Structure 1
């Protein structure tokens, strides 16, 4: 991926002391994170550790209880209206389940942000959709199909094409390989690397798939009990010296992370 330093210039995304609770449950408990322009950062962690809540907070779908979130140095925690819309134009998103609209053909799914968000003419948006489908290895024959006619891997590719259609500066990937077999997952990982590089975009991914995390990231951070307990270059993940990270990346039942499992 990129060779950018995480400390060069104004961070593309910055979280400072971000906290979020739902009732008595602390989901984010003082998250600090800095992602440089052009960097691909992956957050790993088990289910229920706050990864999705962190992503939704950056997107503005949830408001933190405390702390600051900045995009390009601009504080975004409390903005709304046109200011929020302006920040949102910088974002692209690949949703976990694809989140395609069943009622729209593939090309309209890909072009949704262009037509609805930018008011682009449908003919021009369709041309861009065909171009973006080609970028993820899908031919123009797919454009008029409905999402229901596609395999899971093809749906994920269409979701990726939609994520890059508006040429975003920042792309979020929510569990991009969930539900895919190992070979298709690797194909998607390769496409993510290619698309992010071709756009020169900044990427933030949440996943529990270590093969994916290793392949698409410059740096990795582990979220556990609402805190980023370790972060560093991808090449250092196997020598983290952190027992929680060691247990997670090797998928061991024994270790400091105790799963709540009822037997019998």
Structure 2
């Protein structure tokens, strides 16, 4: 890469008992770049994301953010990394006990000590950024549709104007039209912030729209990594099977729960 990576993973391993989930993941995300990690269920996408966020500790390997090694980071270093990140969780993960605007403003109030009145104004502005009006600010998250909850989650992720954004299966659980709206909003917000983004998804339509680059994870390793524009020209049989959604091919499908 021509510039130092914003996020860099080298030889990352993670096991749960005898199950080896990550077996040497190597991946870079450049400043301002959007990278999607694709792969089937159980391939380790979520584990990779949790290792970067510090929710899991890798058994082996290096993870750096802005050149700082995170696998043995101090609490202060970890807090500094988290302070410049925003996360859109798979199920939005909104706090039921807080109103919509309080959810959006959570990082501003709890993380930055902003006065609630000022934070509410910021929250209203961020809700507008994702196409939601001020009339929902005092509503409970439980009263919103799944798509609206996703948008509130996105508003919360961008409220602190982070340098890094993480998206965990951003279109799961919503219909294709709302999924496309969420994808468009992710592109808009990421570009306006100039943020680096890491997305994990099994949704190829989402990956094609929001990512500059795609990395495919299979059996604990990145087996293909390239620009979105090269996906359909690739002769990698694993990628071709995944993109086509074919049952037949080299991918070993986990059919235990079907």
Pairwise same-fold verdict (TM > 0.5)? yes
Partner in structure 2 of residue 217 of structure 1: 211
1:69-97 Cα offsets, whole Å, 9 max, x none, are: 01011111111321211111111000000
Structure 1 segment 161-240 matched on structure 2, within 5 A? 161-240=155-234
Partner in structure 2 of residue 119 of structure 1: 113
Partner in structure 1 of residue 91 of structure 2: 97
2:257 and 2:111 map into 1 onto residues whose CA distance is 50
1:26-55 Cα offsets, whole Å, 9 max, x none, are: 111001111100000000000110000000
Cα deviation for residue 118 of structure 1 reads 1.0
1:80 corresponds, among 61, 74, 97, to 74
Q: Which runs of 5+ in 1 are unaligned?
A: 1-6
Cα deviation for residue 246 of structure 1 reads 0.5
1:159-197 Cα offsets, whole Å, 9 max, x none, are: 000000011100000000001111100000000000000
Instruction: Provide the secondary structure at the position in 1 that maps to 2:231.
Output: helix
1:81 and 1:109 map into 2 onto residues whose CA distance is 24
Q: Which runs of 5+ in 2 are unaligned?
A: none
| Aligned residues between the structures | 258
The range that moved more, 96-105 or 82-91, is 82-91
2:149 and 2:9 map into 1 onto residues whose CA distance is 32
1:20 and 1:46 map into 2 onto residues whose CA distance is 18
Partner in structure 2 of residue 50 of structure 1: 44
Cα distance, 1:254–1:166 mapped onto 2, change above 3 Å: same
Instruction: Provide the secondary structure at the position in 2 that maps to 1:19.
Output: strand
1:166 and 1:263 map into 2 onto residues whose CA distance is 40
Partner in structure 1 of residue 103 of structure 2: 109
2:234 and 2:6 map into 1 onto residues whose CA distance is 25
2:226 and 2:160 map into 1 onto residues whose CA distance is 30
Cα deviation for residue 263 of structure 1 reads 10
Where has structure 1 moved over 4 Å in runs of 4 or more?
none
Cα deviation for residue 260 of structure 1 reads 3.6
Instruction: Provide the secondary structure at the position in 2 that maps to 1:238.
Output: coil
Partner in structure 2 of residue 245 of structure 1: 239
Cα deviation for residue 148 of structure 1 reads 1.0
Instruction: Provide the secondary structure at the position in 2 that maps to 1:214.
Output: helix
Instruction: Provide the secondary structure at the position in 2 that maps to 1:256.
Output: coil
Partner in structure 1 of residue 30 of structure 2: 36
Partner in structure 2 of residue 62 of structure 1: 56
Partner in structure 2 of residue 261 of structure 1: 255
- Cα RMSD of the aligned pairs, angstroms, is 1.2
